[in-house]
Amino acid sequence: MATKTTTKPRTKTSTKTQRPPLWKVILLNDDYTPREFVVEVLKAVFRMNESQAYRVMLTAHQRGACVIAVFTKDVAETKAKEATEMGKSQGYPLYFTTEKEE
């Protein structure tokens, strides 16, 4: 009997590293929150130094919004909430939002 060669399909194991999707935290401008307060919140919640925080605040002030940084979903949401709460506790409409990075 002739030997039959069968080719067994191999299952390819892909070893791609799965990176978690990142989420942007975005600062929105408003007309009431004092500039210095925005800077203080950015320093406290996002660990920025004075000049980084000032630049982000000014960009949001001039353009309406500014991306602060990217984090995993949980961290982005927690930080946005914490920063928004800091403004709220002082009666300011300061608002931070999150958006998935594509």
Which of positions 54-93 make contact with ligand TYC (CB under 6 A)?
Answer: 57, 60-61
Minimum CB–partner distance for residue 64 and ligand TYC (Å): 9
Q: Are 65 and 28 in contact (CB under 8 A)?
A: yes
Considering CB under 6 A, how many residues would be counted as binding ligand TYC?
A: 13
31 part of the interface to ligand TYC, by CB under 6 A: yes
Asked if residue 2 lies in contact with residue 41, where contact means CB atoms within 8 angstroms, the answer is: no
Q: What residues between 38 and 57 interact with ligand TYC by CB under 6 A? A: 38, 57
CA distance 54 to 88: 20
Q: Is 33 in the site for ligand TYC (CB under 6 A)?
A: yes
- Find out whether 68 and 45 touch, Cβ atoms under 8 Å: no
Shortest distance, CB of residue 29 to ligand TYC, whole angstroms?
Answer: 4
Q: Crossing angle of helices 73-89/35-46, nearest 10°?
A: 140
Q: Which residues of this protein are in contact with ligand TYC, per CB under 6 A?
A: 27-31, 33-35, 38, 57, 60-61, 94
